[in-house]
Amino acid sequence: MRNLLTAIIILACLVFLGSGYLYWKDRTGVVASEVDQTLKNDDSSDSADKEDKKEIEKKEKDVDPTVIELASNWPDAAQTDLQEAIENGESYPIALVGSLALGGDDGWAAMLKKALEEGYGEDVVDVKLFEYDSTSTEFIDEEQYEDVVDFSPKLVLYEPFILNDNGIVDVDENHANIDSFLEALPDAVVLLQPARPVPDSSIYPMQVEDLERYAQAHEIPYLNHWENWPEDASDYVVSGESAPNKKGHEVWFEYLQEYFIAK
């Protein structure tokens, strides 16, 4: 009888130990699995963080600080747009808009286009000239400005036909036409500049002063290239026309080059 009882006790102990072992193995397996999954998740998170870091570093590397420094004279919004365009691998569109005073293939605008492309790189800036033999009213009423809108520029240098308007379109109407042009380009940074000087003129300089006051009142950057012209500009313009001659285009260009391409 005693031997039977002993055998039963031993068997019960073995069953208990076996059950405990199986439970321990099952639990440690679950814990190990959970730990393994946690490590995998951590590895995945680390990998994602590393990829994000690489992408940020790539973008920072792609933005050439020298190029951004060249635009240090630009309005802050234009500098920001330029940097974003570079980071996104996109070209930054610039429009040079105005009368025939731009000078065609040999004028200040063509020279500025070339200087911008060489300074910033043709893959960074996309510069286009928009030249019209119009008054500011014709430019708006005939919807010639739509050519500029279709280009979707981020930066616009605008000579608002002030000399073409002289004696035809009054100052208030000229300013209203500028308003219309600005409304058509809500996403662009627009800069204003006068046309070339007119020697021995009394009324025209006052109209130019009105343009500068308009720019100040509307917080529009105003590029007064007249500062670069000699007091007597007779030898720098084509007599009887609104266009500068070769020397006039050069002094106009030199002023704008210093603004757009800081050294």
The pLDDT assigned to 52 comes to 58
The pLDDT assigned to 35 comes to 45
Q: Report d(CA 223, CA 212) in Å as an integer.
A: 9
Residue with tokens 């300089």: 205
The pLDDT assigned to 243 comes to 85
CATH class of domain segment(s) 65-260: alpha beta
Nearest of 137, 135, 128 to residue 188 by alpha carbon = 128
* φ/ψ of residue 96, rounded to 5: -105, 115
Q: How many CB atoms neighbour CB 60 within 10 A?
A: 10
Give Cα 192 to chain centroid, integer Å. 18
Q: Report d(CA 145, CA 98) in Å as an integer.
A: 10
Q: Report d(CA 226, CA 139) in Å as an integer.
A: 24
Q: How many CB atoms neighbour CB 237 within 10 A?
A: 20
Sheet containing 155-158: order of strands: 125-131, 92-98, 155-158, 189-192
The pLDDT assigned to 25 comes to 55
90: its two tokens = 């996109």
Contact 243, 103 (CB under 8 A): yes
| Tens-binned pLDDT, residue by residue, of the chain (263 aa) | 555 545 555 555 554 555 555 554 555 555 545 545 554 555 555 555 656 555 545 444 455 778 889 999 999 999 999 999 999 999 999 999 999 999 999 999 999 999 999 999 999 999 999 999 999 999 999 999 999 999 999 999 999 999 999 999 999 999 999 999 999 999 999 999 999 999 888 899 999 999 999 999 999 999 999 999 999 999 999 877 778 999 999 999 999 999 999 98
The pLDDT assigned to 40 comes to 54
- Element holding 94 (H helix, E strand): strand 92-98
Give Cα 43 to chain centroid, integer Å. 38
Nearest of 235, 220, 226 to residue 208 by alpha carbon = 226
Q: Report the residue count for the chain.
A: 263
